[in-house]
Amino acid sequence: MNETNGMLAGKTVMITGASSGIGEAAARLFAAEGAAVLLMARREDVLKHLAQEINDSGGRAAISAGDVSVAQDVQRAVDAAREHFGALDAAFNNAGFAGDDLAPLHELDQALFDRMMAVNVSGTWNCLRSQIPVMLEAGKGAIVNTSSTAAMGATGAPVPYVAAKHAVLGMTRAAAAEYAAHDIRINTLVVGTTRTEMINQVVDAYPELGPAFVARQMQKRMADPVEIAQAALWLCSDRASFATGSALAVDGGWTAG
Ligand SMILES: NC(=O)c1ccc[n+]([C@@H]2O[C@H](COP(=O)([O-])OP(=O)(O)OC[C@H]3O[C@@H](n4cnc5c(N)ncnc54)[C@H](O)[C@@H]3O)[C@@H](O)[C@H]2O)c1
Ligand 1 atom at minimal distance to the Cα of residue 198? 19
Please give the Cα distance from 82 to 73 (Å, whole number): 15
Rounded to 10°, the helix 159-179/123-138 angle is: 10
Q: Whose CA is nearest to atom 17 of ligand 1?
A: 198
How much is the pTM?
A: 0.98
Is 161 known to be catalytic? Answer: yes
Please give the sequence-ordered ranges of beta strands (E in DSSP) within 57-212, or none if there are none: 60-63, 90-93, 141-146, 184-191
Reference 187, options 145, 217, 221; nearest CA is 145
Ligand 1 atom at minimal distance to the Cα of residue 223? 3
Q: Whose CA is nearest to atom 36 of ligand 1?
A: 17
Cα 96 to averaged position of ligand 1 atoms, centre (Å):
4
Cα 181 to averaged position of ligand 1 atoms, centre (Å):
31
Name the DSSP letter for residue 34.
T
- Give CA angle at 42 (51, 141), nearest 5°: 65
Cα 199 to averaged position of ligand 1 atoms, centre (Å):
9
* Residue 101 neighbours by CB distance under 10 Å: 13
- Provide the terminal-to-terminal Cα distance of the chain, rounded to the nearest Å: 26
Average pLDDT, the chain: 96
**In terms of DSSP H, where are the helices of 104-179?**
110-116, 123-138, 159-179
Answer yes or no: is pLDDT of 103 > 90: yes
Ligand 1 atom at minimal distance to the Cα of residue 67? 32
Chain centre distance of CA 130: 16
pLDDT 10s digits, 170-182:
999 999 999 999 9
> Which of 113, 125, 161, 213 is labelled catalytic?
161
Residue 61, strand partner residues:
37
pLDDT 10s digits, 129-155:
999 999 999 999 999 999 999 999 999
Please give the Cα distance from 147 to 57 (Å, whole number): 31
Could you give the C-alpha distances from 116 to 88, 150, 158, 169, 210, in angstroms and in order?
27, 13, 10, 15, 22
Ligand 1 atom at minimal distance to the Cα of residue 161? 43
pLDDT 10s digits, 47-84:
999 999 999 999 999 999 999 999 999 999 999 999 99
Answer yes or no: is pLDDT of 192 > 70: yes
Task: Kindly list the protein residues whose Cβ atom lies closer than 6 A to any atom of ligand 1.
Answer: 16-23, 41-43, 67-69, 94-98, 119, 123, 146, 148, 191, 193-194, 196-199
Cα 235 to averaged position of ligand 1 atoms, centre (Å):
18
Q: What's the confidence (pLDDT) of residue 2?
A: 52
Q: What's the confidence (pLDDT) of residue 1?
A: 41
Cα 18 to averaged position of ligand 1 atoms, centre (Å):
9
Which fold would CATH assign to domain 12-240?
A: Rossmann fold (3.40.50)
pLDDT band of residue 202 (cuts 50, 70, 90) is confident
183: helix, strand or coil: coil
